[in-house]
């Protein structure tokens, strides 16, 4: 069975021979030329399928190991962080950029967070979701750091996760401006990076206590 090759952004597949890669698409927003390029390169390397992921990426499935380097070269991208102990792609809803129900600019703030944090090495994986309204299309409440827009600003939740130990995030702050929300996320990530050891953010908060964590972040 082939092993994941994280340095190439390659995840081993069920057949034990091929890999899937997921080019980074910030916020899941891509133009027609970019989409066509991914399709053309997937065809060139005889991909078995293209799979839309829950992290707003397009996984290219069924790539031979000897083709991985050339595939990334053709994409003109560095290998993406589809796995590993780092900040994953920031999940973003359409917000006020596109959606009539959006109350805050989730695309604007989400892309800033992605640009600054995507791939940053941490004690464990960390997922961020930004929703422009309480409909929560980015599922912010089950992310390590969740940001949701209301008519009064941004609310931030921490400690959510899905997977084997699902849990909802707990509200840390409410009614923040864009700048305050970005600054709060910076402080959360830096504090977590300095103090945690191989635990998801929610488990780390449980260990030290939510009130202590909140006091340290404020």
| Residue range 78-124, pLDDT digits in tens | 999 888 899 999 999 999 999 999 999 999 999 999 999 999 999 99
Which residue ranges form the domains of the chain, and what is each CATH number? 1-75 (3.30.70.3340), 86-217 (3.30.413.10)
| pLDDT higher than threshold 90 for residue 131 | yes
| Pairing of the two strands 145-150 and 128-131 | parallel
pLDDT of residue 218: 85
| Residue range 158-170, pLDDT digits in tens | 999 998 889 999 9
What mean pLDDT, rounded, does the chain reach?
Answer: 96
Q: 214: buried, middle or exposed (CB in 10 Å: 19+, 13-18, 0-12)?
A: middle
Contact 8, 68 (CB under 8 A): yes
pLDDT of residue 163: 87
Please identify which residue in the block is written with the tokens 């917000």.
95
Q: What is the mean pLDDT of residues 37-54?
A: 97
pLDDT of residue 213: 97
Q: What is the mean pLDDT of residues 190-206?
A: 95
Q: Using H for helix, E for strand and C for coil, what is the string for the chain?
A: CCCCEHHHCEEECCCCCCEEECCCCHHHCCCHHHHHHHHHHHHHCCCCEEEECCCCCEEEEEECHHHHHHHHHHHCCCCCCCCCCEECCCEECCHHHHCCCCCCCHHHHHHHHHHHHCCCECCCCECEEEECCCCCCCCHHHCCEEEEEECCEEEEEECCECCCCCECCEEEEEEECHHHHHHHHHHHHHHHHHHCCCCCHHHHHHHHCHHHHHHHHC
Which pLDDT band, with edges at 50, 70 and 90, does 1 fall under? low
Assigned token pair, 13: 């597949």
Contact 102, 134 (CB under 8 A): no
């Amino acid at each position: 069975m082939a092993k994941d090759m994280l340095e190439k952004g390659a995840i081993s597949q069920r057949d034990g021979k091929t890999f899937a890669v997921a080019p980074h698409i910030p916020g899941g927003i891509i133009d027609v030329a970019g989409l066509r390029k991914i399709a053309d390169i997937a065809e060139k390397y005889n991909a078995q399928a293209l799979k839309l992921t829950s992290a707003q990426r397009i996984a290219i499935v069924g790539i031979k190991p000897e083709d991985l380097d050339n595939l990334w070269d053709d994409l003109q991208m560095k290998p993406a962080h589809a796995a590993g102990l780092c900040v994953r792609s920031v999940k973003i809803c359409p917000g006020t950029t596109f959606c009539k129900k959006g109350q805050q600019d989730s695309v604007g703030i989400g892309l800033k967070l992605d640009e600054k944090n995507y791939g940053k090495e941490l004690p464990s994986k960390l997922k961020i979701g930004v929703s422009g309204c309480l409909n929560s299309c980015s599922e912010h409440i089950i992310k390590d750091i969740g940001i949701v827009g209301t008519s009064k600003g941004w609310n931030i939740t921490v400690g959510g996760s899905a997977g084997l130990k699902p849990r909802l995030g707990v509200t840390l702050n409410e009614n923040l401006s864009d700048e305050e929300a970005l600054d709060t996320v910076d402080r959360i990530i830096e504090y977590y990076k300095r103090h945690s050891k191989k635990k998801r953010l929610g488990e780390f908060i449980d260990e030290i206590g939510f009130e202590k964590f909140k006091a340290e972040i404020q």
